[in-house]
Amino acid sequence: MGASSNLSQAPSMASFPHLLLLLLLLLLHLLPPSLSATPSAIAALQNLPLKHYVVYMGGGSSSNEEHEQRAGELDFLQLLSSVNPRRREKERGSRDLIHQYHHAFKGFSAMLTEEEASSLSGIDGIVSVFPDPTLQLHTTRSWDFLDSISGLRPPTPLPPPHSYASSSDVVVGIIDTGIWPESQSFNDEGIGEIPSKWKGVCMEAPDFKKSNCNRKLIGARYYNVVEPNGNDSHGSLPKGTPRDSLGHGTHTSSIAAGSRVPNASYFGLARGTARGGGIPSTRIASYKVCAGVGCSGAAILKAIDDAVKDGVDIISISIGIGSPLFQSDYLNDPIAIGAFHAQQMGVLVVCSAGNDGPDPNTVGNVAPWIFTVAASNIDRDFQSTVVLGNGKTFQGTAINLSNLTSSKTYPLVFGKDAAAKFTPMSEARNCYPGSLDRSKVAGKIVVCASDDFSTSRTIKELVVQDAKAVGLILINEASKTVPMDSNIFPFTQIGNSEGLQILEYINSTKNPTATILRTVEVRRLKPAPVVAYFSSRGPSPLTENILKPDIMAPGVSILAAIAPKSDAESGPIGKKPSNYAMRSGTSMSCPHVAGAAAFVKSVYHNWSSSMIKSALMTTATLYDNQRKFMRNSTNNPSNPHEMGAGEISPIKALNPGLVYESTNEDYLRFLCYYGYSNKIIRSVSKQNFSCPKTSKEYLISSINYPSISISKLDRKVAAGKVVVERTVTNVGAPDATYIAKVHSSEGLIVKVTPSKITFTEKVKKVTFKVSFYGKEARNGYNFGTITWRDTAHSVRTVFAVNVV
Ligand SMILES: *[C@@H]1O[C@H](CO)[C@@H](O)[C@H](O)[C@H]1NC(C)=O
Ligand SMILES: *[C@@H]1O[C@H](CO)[C@@H](O)[C@H](O)[C@H]1NC(C)=O
Ligand SMILES: *[C@@H]1O[C@H](CO)[C@@H](O)[C@H](O)[C@H]1NC(C)=O
Ligand SMILES: *[C@@H]1O[C@H](CO)[C@@H](O)[C@H](O)[C@H]1NC(C)=O
Ligand SMILES: *[C@@H]1O[C@H](CO)[C@@H](O)[C@H](O)[C@H]1NC(C)=O
Ligand SMILES: *[C@@H]1O[C@H](CO)[C@@H](O)[C@H](O)[C@H]1NC(C)=O
Ligand SMILES: *[C@@H]1O[C@H](CO)[C@@H](O)[C@H](O)[C@H]1NC(C)=O
Ligand SMILES: CC(=O)N[C@H]1CO[C@H](CO)[C@@H](O)[C@@H]1O
């Protein structure tokens, strides 16, 4: 990755606890399906291997003029020919140019040789050159990504219809797998005219007409995605369609801003009114950047560039780099680059944190100008009960549409006792592919263990199904809280203690039997919300002095619209395919927050993106529906590395009282403290900016962010004291007095000065200091909150302080 980058001053990455495991899993997933394919068209070109690279040139001129774009294209071609004379032939140059970025920022993507890429990276005005990364959808964890369908629920309770709900000019751009426009969730009944500021387009394709866009779905674009094997699908007219064949983009779009659809359900489950998180008239613009589960980084950059030009207010991206191991640098990360410039132009970018939890240091999309979303389980569960021959029952979790009943039981067998010839029992107990003896499992319900993550539960289901078993009971302590949709195959998941009892039962009798009952929906589950097991955790692998993730929203078993095609085979025989389905992942939590941000934006049109982010963060809740401190899926108190500022609470965000505004200057100083040079920062920002004389990483803690993180408080340095600064802006009534209240873990002393602040008509902003004294604190991360209170507001900031 580094070979073609001209950035060397980035600090080294944090270490990872399960580096080896991660690497192994990565390898398993990165093996391209086409190892042997030869990219013939490309190789023919002088026999030089060409790869798709992004050439990022920093801030743009925000020009919409066509002639300036043409001039820009000529510049790009000139750059190409300057590093390789064979490029002089204009036509070939244009053929190799794939995406051009003209609006929010400047640059292009092109098919280049490694030598060309490295020569380009040395040229003045080019900030970074990096191979187009393939990013992944955040539907499920990367080791389990086939396991993509699991569950859903209607989004966070919708705010009551206010007078402003009748019309909204807020546009949410969804960068994803496209959209299924016929879904009821995108009907535009009762929605007013398209806002005049809108400059987007509805791109056509054989299966997508202009008339598929309407006053709800106001824009749809798609991008040529160059195959990772270098297949040359560019050059001619764009191929493809804005239509979603996977269902992911349709799902996220309807969560963020879908219209109300009464009586939506997944074959009767999760029945209720499906609706987006924003107010009903929030507009949707769809940008399709993925082919299958892989999404091109160069196309994501183009989509952000277009979305900003089109006039979106909020961008939702449920996509990330496959593993946090690959997060090496902000300026090699297309989402971080695009989001930086979107933010500069007033657009809030909301991203999923990833599904690589619960290990620490796994959070992705961590730039401070990105709003990073973790996932929670909500107050609903789906249970499929196991009934043993001895009458004992166990509640498992699953979503099945099976046809087994309690009146008949089936022989029960443990995978280990049904090993195929020459197969180690350790493989058979985990039901690895090829490990089971068909004759020993056919017609039976099979019990499988989950000793490692090498084989996903979807694969195990296929293995067991293929061996003609009747059903699968999966022992999986880790993922038992995330129901999987097994279609019509009888399936359930149980934890270790239930698993042990079932195995004991199998041992205790000659002819063990069991059945798996229909899925029932359990509502009003307590406690809820709970941090989802898979949700990626902080601290941030790139910058521990910014607290990540930022916030949490529902992401387990979320019911929303799908592309019916994608689930065509599923469902009970004889029933029409469902138009709604349940899915899990931070992919689902991200659009909840985008919808909530659209809601705030529709009330406060002129609020900056950092004000909206702050309002949602300082009003988020840390308590569950039992009024106890939020817990994680192993029933321990949760912390900000798991849930950020807490679960979103959109209605409260309309009245935050105070906000922490992060300015463009804050972000530029962040780049200085992180280690980028003045020159690079000037290119990125297109401003005559100079870094402060002291530009040290610890200063990042004093960037005006709505949470506080201190990566290192050394007891032996400065008497164990660290001071950071924050500035709050009053957005409530002009005359107000706030008092600070601190909650901290034992031993960590926190002082806020001044601890009382007063706002008037003239005084809108107040700066205060927070001092942390760690002499008596315990080692490692200490967490707590600082809350500014007046009679009407409670403005909470969470902090994380690592004492060494
Ligand atoms: C490249 O793409 C074309 C059209 O999509 C396809 O027919 C061809 O098989 C692909 N070639 C390779 C090497 O993948
Ligand atoms: C909801 O849909 C089901 C079938 O899909 C139907 O039986 C039921 O009457 C509907 N309920 C309402 C309130 O429309
Ligand atoms: C829940 O939190 C506890 C205490 O911080 C931690 O030990 C445990 O690993 C966490 N569980 C999960 C699933 O993250
Ligand atoms: C359940 O459905 C499957 C497939 O439709 C069928 O083969 C099987 O006989 C059915 N089982 C019962 C118990 O009805
Ligand atoms: C079942 O029996 C086998 C062999 O006798 C033994 O190894 C295993 O520990 C037993 N399992 C349980 C859960 O009792
Ligand atoms: C937004 O508009 C209101 C009323 O016009 C004004 O009082 C306020 O200062 C503006 N806020 C920002 C952040 O521009
Ligand atoms: C940039 O700003 C510095 C002082 O901040 C000034 O001396 C210099 O002339 C400026 N350069 C340009 C090109 O405006
Ligand atoms: C959700 C769902 O449809 N579950 C099914 C599970 O299996 C039973 C058969 O016994 C069906 O009736 C349920 O509908």
Does the Cβ of 54 fall within 6 Å of ligand 8?
A: no
Looking at the CA of 663, name the nearest ligand. Answer: 6
Residue 227: per-residue pLDDT: 54
* Residue 80 reports pLDDT greater than 90: no
Residue 577: per-residue pLDDT: 73
Report CA 82 to chain centroid distance, whole Å.
39
Tell me phi and psi for residue 41, to 5 degrees.
-55, -40
Query: Would you list the DSSP string of 329-371?
Result: -GGG-HHHHHHHHHHHTT-EEEEE--S-TTSTT------TTEE
Nearest CA to ligand 8 atom 6: 518
Nearest to 405 by CA among 470, 449, 476, 500: 470
Q: How many CB atoms lie within 10 A of CB 634?
A: 12
User: Mutation test of ligand 8: which of 445, 489, 518, 573 has the most ligand atoms closer than 8 Å to its C-beta?
Assistant: 518
All CATH 2.60.40.2310 domain ranges of the chain, comma separated, are 658-662+704-803
Nearest CA to ligand 7 atom 14: 688
Residue 725: per-residue pLDDT: 97
* Residue 3 reports pLDDT greater than 70: no
Does the Cβ of 702 fall within 6 Å of ligand 8?
A: no
Record the tokens describing residue 620, joined without a space.
């988020």
Residue 60: per-residue pLDDT: 77
Tokens 């912390």 sit on residue: 639
Q: Ligand 6 centre from 607 Cα, in Å?
A: 7
Residue 498: per-residue pLDDT: 94
What is the β-pairing status of strands 370-377 and 530-531? antiparallel
Does the Cβ of 215 fall within 6 Å of ligand 8?
A: no
Tell me phi and psi for residue 727, to 5 degrees.
-125, 130
Residue 563: per-residue pLDDT: 84
Can you tell me the mean pLDDT for 190-203?
A: 93
- Name the average pLDDT for the chain: 84
Tell me phi and psi for residue 145, to 5 degrees.
-75, -10
**What is the greatest pairwise CA distance in the chain?**
84
Q: Ligand 7 centre from 108 Cα, in Å?
A: 29
Looking at the CA of 635, name the nearest ligand. Answer: 3
Cα atoms in the Cβ-side hemisphere of radius 13 Å centred on 36:
0
Residue 85: per-residue pLDDT: 67
Can you tell me the mean pLDDT for 575-602?
A: 88
Q: Ligand 8 centre from 249 Cα, in Å?
A: 28
Looking at the CA of 261, name the nearest ligand. Answer: 2
Residue 543: per-residue pLDDT: 92
DSSP label at residue 86: G
* Residue 66 reports pLDDT greater than 90: no
User: Mutation test of ligand 6: which of 348, 606, 658 has the most ligand atoms closer than 8 Å to its C-beta?
Assistant: 606
C-beta of residue 134 within 8 angstroms of C-beta of residue 228: yes
Query: Would you list the DSSP string of 195-247?
Result: PTT----B--BTTB-GGG--SSEEEEEE-----TT-----SSSPP--SB-SSS
User: Mutation test of ligand 1: which of 38, 42, 231 has the most ligand atoms closer than 8 Å to its C-beta?
Assistant: 231
Nearest CA to ligand 8 atom 4: 401
Query: How does pLDDT run across 105-125, given as a tens digit for each residue?
Result: 999 999 888 999 999 998 988
Closest approach atom of ligand 1 to CA 38: 13
Nearest to 109 by CA among 117, 318, 124: 117
Residue 549: per-residue pLDDT: 98
* The architecture CATH gives domain 39-131: 2-Layer Sandwich (3.30)
Which of the two residues, 176 and 518, has the higher pLDDT score?
A: 176
Query: How does pLDDT run across 613-632, given as a tens digit for each residue?
Result: 999 999 999 998 888 999 99
Nearest CA to ligand 5 atom 5: 507
* Residue 324 reports pLDDT greater than 70: no
Q: Of 560-564, 647-651, 669-673, which range is least confident?
A: 560-564
Confidence of residue 234 (pLDDT cuts 50, 70, 90): very low
Residue 609: per-residue pLDDT: 96
DSSP label at residue 11: P
Does the Cβ of 231 fall within 6 Å of ligand 1?
A: yes
Nearest CA to ligand 3 atom 7: 636
Nearest to 701 by CA among 638, 653, 771, 760: 771
Q: Of 105-114, 135-144, 611-620, 743-752, which range is least confident?
A: 135-144
The percentage of residues in the chain with a pLDDT greater than 70, rounded to a whole number, is 83
Which of the two residues, 75 and 537, has the higher pLDDT score?
A: 537
Q: Of 85-94, 274-283, 336-345, 350-359, which range is least confident?
A: 85-94
Looking at the CA of 687, name the nearest ligand. Answer: 7
Can you tell me the mean pLDDT for 141-162?
A: 30
CATH topology of domain 136-379+530-654: Rossmann fold (3.40.50)
All CATH 3.40.50.200 domain ranges of the chain, comma separated, are 136-379+530-654
Q: Of 243-252, 335-344, 735-744, which range is least confident?
A: 243-252
Which of the two residues, 701 and 382, has the higher pLDDT score?
A: 701
Does the Cβ of 31 fall within 6 Å of ligand 4?
A: no
Q: Which residues are the active-site residues?
A: 176, 248, 587
Looking at domain 658-662+704-803, does it have CATH number 2.60.40.3120?
no
Can you tell me the mean pLDDT for 566-585?
A: 70
Nearest CA to ligand 4 atom 6: 403
Does the Cβ of 37 fall within 6 Å of ligand 1?
A: yes
Does the Cβ of 497 fall within 6 Å of ligand 5?
A: no
Looking at the CA of 690, name the nearest ligand. Answer: 7
C-beta of residue 287 within 8 angstroms of C-beta of residue 252: no
Can you tell me the mean pLDDT for 670-674?
A: 97
Rounded Cα gap, residues 33 and 37, in angstroms:
9
Closest approach atom of ligand 7 to CA 690: 5
Q: What is the CA radius of gyration of the chain?
A: 27
At residue 657, the 3 state secondary structure works out as coil
Amino acid letter at 156? T
Q: Ligand 1 centre from 100 Cα, in Å?
A: 24
Closest approach atom of ligand 3 to CA 478: 13
Looking at the CA of 557, name the nearest ligand. Answer: 8
* Residue 759 reports pLDDT greater than 80: yes
Can you tell me the mean pLDDT for 683-698?
A: 93
* Residue 373 reports pLDDT greater than 90: yes
Confidence of residue 73 (pLDDT cuts 50, 70, 90): confident
Which of the two residues, 166 and 611, has the higher pLDDT score?
A: 611
DSSP label at residue 557: S
All CATH 3.50.30.30 domain ranges of the chain, comma separated, are 409-509
Closest approach atom of ligand 6 to CA 607: 13
Residue 176: per-residue pLDDT: 96
Closest approach atom of ligand 5 to CA 503: 13
Instruction: Name every protein residue with a CB atom under 6 angstroms from any ligand 3 atom.
Output: 358, 533, 632-634, 636
Can you tell me the mean pLDDT for 465-489?
A: 87
Q: Of 109-118, 318-327, 427-436, 679-688, which range is least confident?
A: 318-327
Does the Cβ of 503 fall within 6 Å of ligand 5?
A: yes
All CATH 3.30.70.80 domain ranges of the chain, comma separated, are 39-131
Q: Ligand 1 centre from 682 Cα, in Å?
A: 42
User: Mutation test of ligand 3: which of 496, 632, 782 has the most ligand atoms closer than 8 Å to its C-beta?
Assistant: 632
Rounded Cα gap, residues 763 and 238, in angstroms:
54
Residue 75: per-residue pLDDT: 82
Q: Ligand 6 centre from 731 Cα, in Å?
A: 9
Q: Ligand 7 centre from 688 Cα, in Å?
A: 6
CATH topology of domain 409-509: Glucose Oxidase; domain 1 (3.50.30)
Confidence of residue 737 (pLDDT cuts 50, 70, 90): very high
Q: Is 524 left (phi over 0), alpha (psi -120 to 50) or beta?
A: left
Nearest CA to ligand 4 atom 7: 403
Does the Cβ of 402 fall within 6 Å of ligand 8?
A: yes
**Most confident stretch, 277-281, 394-398, 520-524, 674-678:** 674-678
Which of the two residues, 227 and 197, has the higher pLDDT score?
A: 197
Rounded Cα gap, residues 686 and 683, in angstroms:
5
Residue 130: per-residue pLDDT: 94
Which of the two residues, 342 and 20, has the higher pLDDT score?
A: 342
Cα atoms in the Cβ-side hemisphere of radius 13 Å centred on 741:
9
Rounded Cα gap, residues 140 and 146, in angstroms:
8
Q: Ligand 4 centre from 400 Cα, in Å?
A: 13
At residue 738, the 3 state secondary structure works out as strand
* Residue 741 reports pLDDT greater than 50: yes
Can you tell me the mean pLDDT for 227-234?
A: 48
User: Mutation test of ligand 5: which of 494, 506, 507, 508 has the most ligand atoms closer than 8 Å to its C-beta?
Assistant: 507
Residue 95: per-residue pLDDT: 66
Query: Would you list the DSSP string of 409-471?
Result: -EEEEEGGGGBPTT--HHHHHTT-TT-B-HHHHTTSEEEE--SSSSS-HHHHHHHHHHTT-SE
Rounded Cα gap, residues 537 and 643, in angstroms:
8
Q: Ligand 7 centre from 690 Cα, in Å?
A: 9
Can you tell me the mean pLDDT for 719-729?
A: 96
Residue 45: per-residue pLDDT: 44
Can you tell me the mean pLDDT for 79-83?
A: 81
Residue 485: per-residue pLDDT: 78
Residue 74: per-residue pLDDT: 79
645 class by beta-carbon count within 10 Å (0-12 exposed, 13-18 middle, 19+ buried): buried
pTM for the full model? Answer: 0.85
Nearest CA to ligand 4 atom 13: 404
Residue 701: per-residue pLDDT: 97
Closest approach atom of ligand 7 to CA 688: 1
C-alpha distances in Å from residue 207, one per residue of 212, 394, 569, 799: 10, 47, 21, 50
Query: Would you list the DSSP string of 135-200?
Result: EEE-SS-GGGTT---------SPPPPP-GGGG----EEEEEES-B-TTSGGG--TT--PPPTT---
Closest approach atom of ligand 1 to CA 37: 13
Q: Ligand 2 centre from 273 Cα, in Å?
A: 11
Which of the two residues, 645 and 191, has the higher pLDDT score?
A: 645
* Residue 235 reports pLDDT greater than 80: no
Rounded Cα gap, residues 320 and 135, in angstroms:
5
Q: Of 2-16, 58-72, 261-275, 531-545, which range is least confident?
A: 2-16
Confidence of residue 574 (pLDDT cuts 50, 70, 90): low
Looking at the CA of 632, name the nearest ligand. Answer: 3
What is the β-pairing status of strands 513-523 and 319-321? unpaired
Can you tell me the mean pLDDT for 512-540?
A: 88
Can you tell me the mean pLDDT for 64-82?
A: 76
Looking at the CA of 33, name the nearest ligand. Answer: 1
Does the Cβ of 688 fall within 6 Å of ligand 7?
A: yes
C-beta of residue 184 within 8 angstroms of C-beta of residue 561: yes
User: Mutation test of ligand 7: which of 678, 681, 688 has the most ligand atoms closer than 8 Å to its C-beta?
Assistant: 688
Closest approach atom of ligand 5 to CA 507: 1
Does the Cβ of 403 fall within 6 Å of ligand 4?
A: yes
Q: Ligand 5 centre from 603 Cα, in Å?
A: 63
C-beta of residue 429 within 8 angstroms of C-beta of residue 503: no
Q: Ligand 7 centre from 683 Cα, in Å?
A: 14
Q: Ligand 2 centre from 179 Cα, in Å?
A: 26
C-beta of residue 701 within 8 angstroms of C-beta of residue 708: yes
Which residues fall within 8 angstroms of residue 388, CB to CB, at 6 or more apart?
394, 412, 502, 505, 512, 513, 514
Query: How does pLDDT run across 44-54, given as a tens digit for each residue?
Result: 445 568 889 99
